[in-house]
Amino acid sequence: MPSAIRGTLIECDPAIRTLILMMDVGSNDLILEELDETHLLVDSNKVNYIRNELNSRLSKNLFNPDEEEQ
Amino acid sequence: IVDQIKLWQLELDRFRQEDGILFRDFISTKEYTAVSEYAQDIGALIWKNDKTRMFFVPEKSAKDITEFVNKLT
């Protein structure tokens, strides 16, 4: 008998996928299953958190080069 | 920097999400193939990986698939 797991399928770039995997390292409560290079199954209650966290990490990356120049 | 913003925007645009049910832990390739083909036939298959014997369907189709699995066994 196969198992059935409720969750949210996320389809994204491998780079974004790596960022999400890194977010999960501390808490281990985001990712239910690593599906392939461009898909993850995540906890449906954590999708908004993941999107917000991605936005903030991506914007930090944008500002880093400026800080180094100063 | 504007180019970078455009690049990240593109990355986030490629982030798609879909709620549903993942089926996994099939005991054999035969069972996996039968059930995933059924999911395909009823138009429910959103994603699958033949190598790891897993597939994903919308929640509304999960009941039909579970009934199909029960009929198999």
Which residue range forms the structural domain that includes residue A19? 8-69
Which residue range forms the structural domain that includes residue B56? 18-72
> What is the complex's ipTM, to 2 decimals?
0.83
Q: Which band of pLDDT confidence, cut at 50, 70 and 90, is reported for residue A6? A: very high
Q: What is the pLDDT of residue B3?
A: 73
Total number of domains constituting chain B:
1
Residue A54 to residue B18, Cβ atoms within 8 A: no
Total number of domains constituting chain A:
1
Q: What is the pLDDT of residue B13?
A: 67
Distance in Å, alpha carbon of A26 to nearest chain B alpha carbon: 22
Q: What is the pLDDT of residue A70?
A: 46
Calculate the alpha carbon distances from B8 to A7, A55, A69, B16, B19 in Å. Answer: 26, 9, 21, 15, 24
Q: Which band of pLDDT confidence, cut at 50, 70 and 90, is reported for residue B12? A: low
Q: Judged by CB atoms within 8 Å, which residues 17-46 of B form the interface with A?
A: 17-27, 31-32, 35, 46
Domain-located, residue B4: no
User: Taking the CB of residue B4, how many other CB atoms lie within 10 A of it?
Assistant: 12
List, for residues B39-53, the tens digit of each pLDDT value.
Answer: 999 999 999 999 999
